[in-house]
Structure 1
Amino acid sequence: MARLARLTVAGLPHHLIQRGLNRQAIVADDVDRERLLAELRESAALHRVAIHAYVLMDNHLHLLATPETAEGLSRMMQSLGRRYVAAFNKRHGRSGTLWDGRFRAAPLEAATHLLACMRYIELNPQRLGQAGRPEDYRWSSAAHHLGRRRDPLLFDHALFWAIGNTPFEREAAYQAWLEQGVAEDEARRLGDAALKGWPLGSASFLQMLAEDTERPIQPRRRGRPPRLA
């Protein structure tokens, strides 16, 4: 069966996942982490992709990002691969690929899923037992959104700004949002959508995407189609 083409849409936020080859580490230490994020910042700016949230774990990367063009995400990740993987290989005396194939991504309806995806991404270290509080994890966007530091990698989405009229109100509202946690079904839905490439949103959002692309936007039902009378 042919591989399903990746669906990327200009102007829409996308949840993106890039894993290490065979679940192996994509960073060995803080020098690698700083280099990867610096290269990501350069690649995002070059290809006009706005990064709204991220988390860099030892063996995978999550991004919430909006490209200005349909090709922006792919070009950004290709650029990141050329820049970072070459530097990583040289530094650690290795060769070959670092990524587990192509990155996975799915477009999201911002009104229904953007803040949920931000929370899912920024609570990743806490869910994996690597941080007591989201803002304690240095390699994510949580501290930025909670007002602990300013992160030059990020471009805040309008929906994040809309949760409060002042920085203090936004940070307090977002703190409360994070403290609600991520339900198991929500985490599964966000993760599966990105890994399988299915967009998330309302029926009208999915219909809009279906009209604008020839690619399937929902998985087909298993089994044979029903027989006509």
Structure 2
Amino acid sequence: MMHGMVRRARTIISGFVHHIAHYSMDGRDVLTNTDDFKTYLDYLEKFSKKQGLSLWAYCLLPDHIRLVAVPRDAGTLAAAVRDTHAAYAGYANWRGLTSGRVWKNRFSSCVVDDMFVWSAVRLVESLPARLGLVKKAEKYPWSSAAPHCGLRQDPVLTTSFPPPGVIENWSAWLAGAESESALEKRLLLNTRTGHPFGSMVFIEDLERQTGRILRPQKRGPKPRA
């Protein structure tokens, strides 16, 4: 870290939905075949359940992962990601995928307002189709799209989401995700910066709960009184 650069503390709040992203070092592919993806999911299931992280949606890509999840308490999210990625790093080094660090030092995350939770899930699950990896999102084997389309069971996911009857045709709903491209830019920006993703009312409520200023602040010296 450069001298004088302050690293922003994560804002993780128990019981709230969070969008999480974690990238590999140098953008290299660290999930390269079926065994790699299955191994990662095994670790994710194990440590999410151990730490109390409820997974609502996920997408695994060769160079990074995306999650939508609800932590049981403030330390749950970091512990689950830390343990999962430490275990997978050991596997990746054993496999010869890399001889050094597998993941970037810190994962990125942001708290998501209820009004944007469905959009976050939709954007995460539709990502492989929007990247051109598959024609339909549910055809991608390493995301929660297929389970939510009713094509298979997935022990990684919580059974409490989604509530029944909200989305009648999950496949068609995912196919319309292109309409939310502007929203995705905001979601990724907030995930990277750690600022909550939601309305001002939502953010002000979180500020009251946490006692912290969570809105983006202007850079530079503060004006003198």
> Normalised by the size of structure 1, how large is the TM-score?
0.89
- Of residues 125, 128, 132, the one that matches 1:125 is 128
Q: What is the rounded CA distance, in whole Å, between the counterparts of 2:164 and 2:217 in structure 1?
A: 36
In structure 1, what residue type is equivalent to 2:56?
H
Cα deviation digits, residues 38-83 of structure 1 (max 9, x gap): 1000010000000000000010000000000100011001111221
Mapped pair 1:149 → 2:149: no
Secondary structure, counterpart of 1:161 in structure 2: coil
Question: Residues 114-155 of structure 1, C-alpha deviation per residue, up to 9 Å, x if partnerless?
Answer: 110011001111111101000110000000111111111001
SS of corresponding position for 2:177:
coil
Equivalent position to 1:205, from 190, 202, 205: 202
| Structure 1 CA distance for aligned equivalents of residues 164 and 69 of structure 2 | 18
- 2-side partners of 1:222 and 1:157: how far apart? 41
Instruction: Give, in angstroms, the shift of residue 180 of structure 1.
Output: 2.1
Residue by residue over 1:147-195, the C-alpha shift from the partner in whole angstroms, topping out at 9 and shown as x without a partner, is 111111001455x31544xxxxx452x3332232232211101111111
Bigger shift: 200-209 or 7-16?
200-209
Q: Note the 1:150-189 alignment, pairs <5 A.
A: 150-158=153-161, 160-164=162-166, 170-172=167-169, 174-182=170-178, 183-189=180-186
| One-letter amino acid of the counterpart of residue 135, structure 1 | E
Residue by residue, what CA displacement relative to the aligned partner does 1:6-26 show, whole Å, maximum 9, x if unpaired? 110000010000100011112
CA distance in 1, matches of 2:23, 2:148: 25
The alpha-carbon distance between structure 1 residues 31 and 203, as it changes in their structure 2 partners (threshold 3 A), is same
Offset at 1:93?
A: 6.6
3-state SS of paired residue (2:184): helix
Paired residue type of 1:179 = A
Contact 1:19 1:59 in 2 (8 A): yes
State the distance in 2 between where 1:203 and 1:32 align. 41
Query: Residue type matched to 2:51 in 1?
Result: H
* C-alpha separation in 2, matches of 1:204 and 1:86: 43
Uncovered stretches (5+) of structure 1, i.e. residues with no partner: 165-169
Instruction: Tell me, in whole angstroms, the C-alpha distance in 2 between the residues paired with 1:205 and 1:194.
Output: 16
RMSD: 1.9
Corresponding position: 1:78 with 2:82: yes
The percentage of counterpart residues that share the same residue type is: 30
Q: Counterpart in 1 of 2:218?
A: 221
Alignment match of 1:16 (pick from 20, 29, 34): 20
**Within 2, Cα distance between the matches of 1:184 and 1:81?**
29
What SS class does the counterpart of residue 2 from structure 1 fall into? coil
Secondary structure of the structure 2 residue equivalent to 1:64: strand
* Count of residues paired in the alignment: 220
How far the C-alpha of 1:196 sits from its partner, in A, is: 1.3
What is the alpha-carbon distance in structure 2 between the residues aligned to residue 62 and residue 221 of structure 1?
29
For 2:22 and 2:148, the matched residues in 1 are separated by 23
CA shift, 1:90, in A, is 0.8
Q: Work out which of the residue numbers 140, 143, 155 in structure 1 matches 2:143.
A: 140
